[in-house]
Amino acid sequence: MIDFNKSLLENCIQNGPLVCAHRGIASGNIPCNTIPAFNAALLQGADMIELDVSKSRDGEFYVFHPGMEPAHLRSKRLISILSDKKVSKLRFVNQDNVPTQFGVYRLDEVLNFLKGKCYINVDKYPIDVPGISNVIRRCGVENQVIVKCNAKDKKTLEKIKNHAPDLMFMAVFHDCDEGITDSIAADGINCIGAEVLFKKEGVQVANKAYVDIMHEKGRVVWVNSIVYDYKVVLTAGHNDDIAVAGDLENGWGWLLDKGFDIIQTDWCGMLKNYIKTRNTF
């Protein structure tokens, strides 16, 4: 059970690895990045939900992955160039490319729905750090929200330092930490961990020793088992595809053995059940 009065690390240690549902759970007629998809993830035991943010021409924030308009809305026009009136008329399509009854939700609607229920990773945060931070504060979910950016994105890091140093922040980088998280924390940002990406098993961040060092510093380590493009390697091939195709140990078991604190997946219920039956924690 998540206790938002405790630190993220404390909750990870108490509950075992936290499972993050990538854009919620989309299936059948339920599209991703919608309140029904997020509710489905909660019903499957998600500890955290990842969602994406787009900003309309009028300055409103919506829960939608920028650039996915053709695939998810059958729209050739990006939300970023549309007025709120036009956005309100958009409808998601389902997995058979058939229009659904579901429109694009505002960020504040979704944050209010998720308030007190789970951790929330607000992705695409760099599109407007001050604006998105204001919505997070207005909805009163500061103790639930995790924001991130590439560790090399100095402009975004400066904006976070100036506008949201208190929000839980994770740096995203490949292979080696090289003092990255220490440096960001020393700069006054609430760096509570790292999202690590690696193509090979032998690198620093793919080692349990690294996770242990991060824990000693009060930080957590996030990995992705999701596959959004089979040609893009995020965790040395230990991923959802391998697990769901039948090799649970090589897919998810390897990640569990390394002690990673958060695993982002598209198969939330299956991963939660696997963690329970494996008796790792």
**pLDDT by residue, tens only, the chain of 281 residues:** 899 999 999 999 999 999 999 999 999 999 999 999 999 999 999 999 999 999 999 999 999 999 999 999 999 999 999 999 999 999 999 999 999 999 999 999 999 999 999 999 999 999 999 999 999 999 999 999 999 999 999 999 999 999 999 999 999 999 999 999 999 999 999 999 999 999 999 999 999 999 999 999 999 999 999 999 999 999 999 999 999 999 999 999 999 999 999 999 999 999 999 999 987 55
**What pTM, to 2 d.p., does this model score?**
0.96
In a domain, 35, yes or no: yes
Q: What domain count does the chain have? A: 1
Q: Does residue 40 sit within a domain?
A: yes
Domain-embedded: residue 70: no
**Would 59 be classed as within a structural domain?**
no
The answer to whether position 83 is within a domain reads no
Contact between residue 153 and residue 180 where contact means Cβ atoms under 8 Å apart: no
Calculate the alpha carbon distances from 89 to 6, 103, 105, 186 in Å: 41, 7, 11, 46
Residue 104 lies in a domain: no
Domain that holds residue 136: 8-52+116-274
122: in domain: yes
- CATH number of the structural domain spanning residue 126: 3.20.20.190
